[in-house]
Amino acid sequence: MVTIQDVAKAAGVSPMTVSHVINDHPYVRETTRDKVQQAIDELGYRVNIAARNLRTGRTSTIGLAIPEIDRPYYAQLAARIVAAAGRRGLRVAIEQTGATKENELSTLATSRNRLYDGLILATVGLGFADRELLNVDFPVVILGERIFDGPVDHISMPNVSGSAAAVEHLIERGARRILMLQGNELSELGMPPLRLDGYRAAHERAGLPVDEALLIPVPAFTMQAAREAVVAAVANGLTFDGVFCITDSMGVGVLRGLASCGLRVPEDVKVIGFDNIDEAEFTVPSLSSIAPDHDEMAETAVSLLVQRIEQAKRPAPREVEAGFRLIERESSAGRVER
């Protein structure tokens, strides 16, 4: 393995000068720089990042912990975070937590091994009881939900307002019995209850009663779980003319399930999702959705984290709620036929 010493020897300079060259420091004479660069090329020298990390205490890498990389929502979010970090010269290491609290905490723990300069944690498992565990002297930004007060920055989704807008939209379109698939209940203060709050708020504003039978818990936020739930609901004789899905992936599953049941969307049932994943535009019918400003979320998350990394004295915890737009597509078009 070629070291900085070897290059220095070959170029007839000191290791320090080589270091200056590879780090693009000024105050290196043009001729010296060329000489060193030539030695680097000839020997095929590459910096040893581990050594640099040890010496500087920085890794230029941030961790991104997400439940599962193969869920479209998180994949698309990860792509944006990688891009935002790249603009600042930071690498991103993606970790899967499997949506379990233990793994989320262990990611937090190993991050503090100085593997990363900071961590963006898209959490679904942590709750109020874990807030103390986030009280770490390490830059962390929580992404996704405003689930508890704590000593870290939060970027949260417009859970309540977005859900209310989605349900209001269905009501405007004539839906009166709106099914809600509630997702799992990992956290007592997680995302599903907040979106349910939005659902209730929209009903209240419209003067509509909420039929609790229409609130269906589902074991996961997946296409599969949603399809099964909606098919079962129809089989059980539940009647409804609208469905609010708390994630678009669930929306895709619902559209599929309704098609299997012979129900027409949007004529018989209007459907709307949440997240505006890329796929929503390509379903048949295309899926209306609440579109949080993902670019803003990614940019803000990285920006807050970088501030925390660079500032010696930790700023007070900050909270940002992303904006959103309602995207109308075919699945909620027209008015309910009665």
Partner DNA sequence: ATGAAAGCGCTAACAC
Partner DNA sequence: GTGTTAGCGCTTTCAT
Read off the tokens for 123: 């959490």
Residue 308 interacts with its own copies (CB under 8 A)? no
Mark 86-125 with x for binding to its own copies (rule: CB under 8 A) and - for no binding. -----xxxxxx------------x--xxxx----------
Residue 16 interacts with DNA (CB under 7 A)? yes
Tell me how far CA of residue 133 lies from CA of 114, 127, 150, in angstroms: 17, 10, 9
29 binds, among its own copies, DNA, none (CB under 5 to 8 A by kind): DNA
331 binds, among DNA, its own copies, none (CB under 5 to 8 A by kind): none
Q: Which is nearer to its own copies, 206 or 284 (CB)?
A: 284
Give the type of residue at 6.
D
DSSP string, 234-302: HHTT---SEEEESSHHHHHHHHHHHHHHT--TTTT-EEEEES--GGGGTSSSPPEEEEE-HHHHHHHHH
Conformational region of residue 283, where left means phi above 0, alpha means psi within -120 to 50, and beta covers everything else: beta
Read off the tokens for 330: 């075919």
CB of 50 to DNA, least distance (A): 7
Among 3, 32, 37, 76, binds its own copies (CB under 8 A): 76
Contacts of 269 (CB under 8 A, 6+ apart): 240, 241, 242, 243, 258, 263
How far apart, in whole angstroms, are the C-alpha atoms of residue 245 and residue 226? Answer: 8
Site for DNA in 26-85 (CB under 7 A): 26-29, 31-33, 47-48, 51-52, 54-56
Chain residues binding its own copies by CB under 8 A are 46-51, 53-54, 57, 59, 61, 68-72, 75-76, 78-79, 82, 91-96, 109, 112-115, 223-224, 227, 252-253, 255-256, 259, 278-279, 281-284, 286
Chain residues binding DNA by CB under 7 A are 1, 3-5, 13-17, 19-20, 22-23, 26-29, 31-33, 47-48, 51-52, 54-56
